[in-house]
Amino acid sequence: LDGYEKARGEARYTGDVKLPGMLESALLRSPHARARVARIDLDAATAAPGVIAVVGPGEIAGIDEEVHFEGGAVAGVAAETLALARAALELIEVEWEELEPLLDADEAVARASLLAESRRYERGDYEQGLARADAVVEAEYTTQTLNHNPLETHQCICEWRGDNLDVYISTQYIWGVRRDLAEQLGIPQDKVRVICEFMGGGFGAKNGLGNYLALAAELAKRTGRRVRCALSRREENVVGGNRNATRQRVTAAGQSDGTLTALGGEYVCALGWEGWLPPTAGPAWLLYACENVRTVEHGAKLNLPPMAAFRAPGFVEGTWSLECLLDKLAAQLGVDPLELRKRNYAETDPIDGRPFSSKGLMECYRRAEPHWQRRHEVRARSDETWKRGMGLASQIWYGGGGPPSYAWVRLGSDGRANIVTAMQDIGTGTRTAMAIVAAEELGLPLDAVEVQIGDSARGPFASISGGSSTLPSMGPAVRSAAADAARQVLELAAQRFDRPEETLSLREGSIHCSDGSSWPLADITGLLADGQILGKGARGPNPTGLRVLTFGIQLAEVAVDVGTGEVRVEKVVAIHDVGRVINPLGARSQIEGGIIQALGHTFSEHRLDDPRTGTVLTKTLDAYKLPTIADVPEIVCDLVDVPDEHLTNLGSKGLGEPPIVPTAAAIANAIRDATGADVTSLPITREEILRALREAEQRERERERIAAGAA
CA angle at residue 624 from 174 to 694, to 5 degrees? 130
**Closer CB to ligand MOS, 108 or 309, in the complex:** 309
Q: Judged by CB under 6 A, which of 467, 651, 662, 683 binds ligand MOS?
A: 467
- The verdict on 309 binding ligand MOS (CB under 6 A) reads yes
Q: Judged by CB under 6 A, which of 68, 226, 311, 539 binds ligand MOS?
A: 311
Adjacent-strand bridge partners of 188: none
**Closer CB to ligand MOS, 309 or 556, in the complex:** 309
Site string for ligand MOS, 365-404 (x = CB under 6 A): ----------------------------------------
As measured in angstroms, the least distance from the Cβ of 284 to ligand MOS is 20
Residue nearest to ligand MOS (CB): 204
**Closer CB to ligand MOS, 443 or 467, in the complex:** 467
- Pick the closest to residue 343 from 390, 393, 417, 290 (CA basis): 290
Q: How does DSSP classify residue 100?
A: P
Report the amino acid identity of residue 222: R
- The verdict on 565 binding ligand MOS (CB under 6 A) reads no
Task: Report the distance separating Cα 227 and Cα 220, nearest Å.
Answer: 5
Contact criterion met (CB below 8 Å) for 102 and 113 = yes
Q: How does DSSP classify residue 50?
A: T
The interface region with ligand MOS, picked from 133-141, 303-311, 624-632, 690-698 by CB under 6 A, is: 303-311
Task: Report the distance separating Cα 348 and Cα 327, nearest Å.
Answer: 23
**Closer CB to ligand MOS, 469 or 681, in the complex:** 469
As measured in angstroms, the least distance from the Cβ of 209 to ligand MOS is 15
**Closer CB to ligand MOS, 312 or 572, in the complex:** 312
Q: Judged by CB under 6 A, which of 272, 466, 565, 658 binds ligand MOS?
A: 466
- Which residues inside 200-239 make contact with ligand MOS, applying CB under 6 A? 204, 207
CA 22 and chain centroid, separation = 32
- The verdict on 172 binding ligand MOS (CB under 6 A) reads yes
**Closer CB to ligand MOS, 71 or 204, in the complex:** 204
Contact criterion met (CB below 8 Å) for 55 and 40 = no
**Closer CB to ligand MOS, 660 or 677, in the complex:** 660
- The verdict on 314 binding ligand MOS (CB under 6 A) reads no
Coil, strand or helix at 83: helix
CA 283 and chain centroid, separation = 16
- The verdict on 470 binding ligand MOS (CB under 6 A) reads no
State the DSSP string of 200-226: ---TTTTSS--HHHHHHHHHHHHHSS-
As measured in angstroms, the least distance from the Cβ of 335 to ligand MOS is 34
- Please report how many Cα atoms fall inside a 13 Å half-sphere around the Cα of residue 464, on the Cβ side: 18
**Closer CB to ligand MOS, 204 or 443, in the complex:** 204
Task: Report the distance separating Cα 30 and Cα 42, nearest Å.
Answer: 15
**Closer CB to ligand MOS, 228 or 311, in the complex:** 311
CB atoms within 10 A of CB 130: 17
- The verdict on 313 binding ligand MOS (CB under 6 A) reads yes
Task: Report the distance separating Cα 610 and Cα 494, nearest Å.
Answer: 73
- Please report how many Cα atoms fall inside a 13 Å half-sphere around the Cα of residue 184, on the Cβ side: 20
- The verdict on 427 binding ligand MOS (CB under 6 A) reads no
As measured in angstroms, the least distance from the Cβ of 207 to ligand MOS is 6
**Closer CB to ligand MOS, 310 or 408, in the complex:** 310
As measured in angstroms, the least distance from the Cβ of 586 to ligand MOS is 17
Contact criterion met (CB below 8 Å) for 58 and 214 = no
CA distances from 261 to 170, 335, 565 (A): 47, 15, 35
DSSP H or E run through 157 = strand 155-161
- Pick the closest to residue 394 from 350, 471, 339 (CA basis): 339
As measured in angstroms, the least distance from the Cβ of 313 to ligand MOS is 5
Residue count at the site for ligand MOS (CB under 6 A)?
Answer: 9
Interacting residues toward ligand MOS by CB under 6 A: 172, 204, 207, 309-311, 313, 466-467
